[in-house]
């Protein structure tokens, strides 16, 4: 035969389930986006147990600088906190790509460059590509290919993430020979924007 639950034990078990914890806690803290350009602003949302306090700290004067959002939850003299880092470019971020070329056949050059995802994350996209080369360049990235004319620009890569492999191809100019220093570099410049 089973012994009945003691009323005091039963009552204390029920009370433990009904009374929420007295400790402060940050349950959820979201900051979006985590890459900002110019006067863009971030949207902050959170859920805390206790009294919330949000602090925004800016550091650096670089390109980009950092904004750290710190969320505090306080209750009965105790504190819980968490932070979120946001990168901020005062204007549109930019990236130079200088390609060291290799020979492709008798009359062409080919080169590759890779932009690490850690450079910009997923919050920055390509706005336009500008050529700073003395020759037209066939540029390829993320399944898109476009010719960027001498000192020209292309919007063909607009809205793509800049990270990943970029390929550049170009023909030798009349009178150039493989191995001359002028043929060894292709220069492009990415103008980026923050995606929302």
Residues near 85 by Cβ (< 8 Å), separated by ≥ 6? 34, 66, 67, 68
Q: Which of 60-64, 102-106, 123-127 has the highest mean pLDDT?
A: 123-127
Write down the pLDDT at residue 30. Answer: 96
Write down the pLDDT at residue 16. Answer: 46
The DSSP string of 106-145 is TTEEEEEEEE-HHHHTTSEEEEEEEE-SSS-EEEEETTEE
Between strands 35-37 and 78-89, the pairing is: parallel
- Which residues face 169 on adjacent strands? 110, 138
Write down the pLDDT at residue 104. Answer: 74
Residues near 40 by Cβ (< 8 Å), separated by ≥ 6? 33, 194, 196
* Whether the predicted pLDDT of 62 surpasses 90: no
The CATH number of the structural domain formed by 94-194 is: 2.60.120
Weakest mean pLDDT among 14-18, 34-38, 91-95, 162-166: 14-18
On average, the pLDDT of the chain sits at 82
Write down the pLDDT at residue 23. Answer: 92
Write down the pLDDT at residue 5. Answer: 53
Does 54 sit behind a cis peptide bond, omega within 30 degrees of 0 on the bond before it? no
* Whether the predicted pLDDT of 93 surpasses 80: yes
pLDDT digits (tens, 9 = 90+) for 162-181: 999 999 998 887 877 766 55
Q: Which residue has the higher pLDDT, 182 or 151?
A: 151
Q: Where are the domains of the chain?
A: 24-89, 94-194
Q: With pLDDT > 90 as the criterion, what percentage of the chain qualifies?
A: 40
Sheet of 185-194, strands arranged across: 94-100, 185-194, 124-131, 153-154
pTM of the model: 0.66
């Amino acid at each position: 035969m089973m012994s009945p639950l003691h009323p005091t034990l039963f009552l204390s078990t029920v009370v433990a389930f009904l009374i929420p914890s007295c400790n402060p806690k940050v349950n959820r803290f979201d900051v979006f986006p985590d890459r900002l350009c110019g006067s863009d602003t971030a949207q902050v949302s959170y859920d805390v147990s206790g009294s919330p306090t949000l602090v925004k700290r800016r550091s650096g004067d670089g390109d980009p600088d950092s904004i750290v959002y710190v969320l505090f939850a306080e209750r009965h003299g105790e504190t819980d906190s968490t932070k979120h880092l946001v990168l901020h470019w005062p204007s549109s971020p930019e990236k130079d790509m200088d390609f060291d070329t290799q020979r492709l056949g008798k009359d062409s050059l080919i080169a590759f460059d890779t932009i690490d995802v850690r450079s910009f994350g997923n919050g920055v996209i390509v706005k336009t590509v500008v050529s700073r080369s003395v020759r037209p360049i066939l540029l390829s990235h993320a399944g898109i290919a476009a010719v960027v004319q001498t000192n020209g620009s292309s919007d063909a890569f607009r809205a793509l993430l800049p990270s990943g492999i970029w390929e550049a191809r170009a023909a030798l100019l009349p009178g150039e020979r493989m191995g001359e220093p002028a043929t060894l570099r292709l220069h492009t410049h990415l103008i980026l924007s923050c995606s929302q």
